Amino acid sequence: MKNITLYNLSTPYLYILFILLLPFETPNLVLFILAFILGLTIDAFYDTPGLHTTACVLLAFVRILFISITVQKEGFDNEPEPTLSIMGFRWFFTYALILTVFHHFFLFNMEVFRFSEIQYTLGRVLLSSLFTVFLILVSGLLFFKSKERK
């Protein structure tokens, strides 16, 4: 997906789906290690040392906060993973959108690293986040069986 861009404003980063779909029971240390390894791997292919790694670790941190705020502790037994088919469209869309915006905002700001191009950067964050969330939802609809939430 590295070469898929729309007018040099929107680039999808579908690799964040790996972090988003990890089960709720994943220990925080394991989550951070997996996020670090994923970001390091992406950095190796994109030739951006540390950029995607830090964005993935931030994504793991925001994921922990979001899940602790929105999901009841007693619901972990019935809903082991945050997928579209288990959690429902509204929750999953909110989850994917908020976490994607955090990831992209940090990634693009670290890439540019100056406030003089903040409008261009915010435009890239918005368009790339929408494109990425669209692809995440499409993949969720294609690969996950529909199952009603209890």
Residues contacting residue 89 through CB under 8 Å, at least 6 positions apart: none
Q: 146 vs 21, 33, 88, CA distance in Å?
A: 16, 31, 9
Chain segment 119-145, per-residue pLDDT in tens? 989 999 999 999 999 999 998 888 766
Chain segment 84-104, per-residue pLDDT in tens? 888 888 989 999 999 999 999
Mean pLDDT of 2-31: 85
Contact 121, 108 (CB under 8 A): yes
Residues contacting residue 21 through CB under 8 Å, at least 6 positions apart: 81, 82, 83
Mean pLDDT of 59-69: 93
Three-class SS state of 105: helix
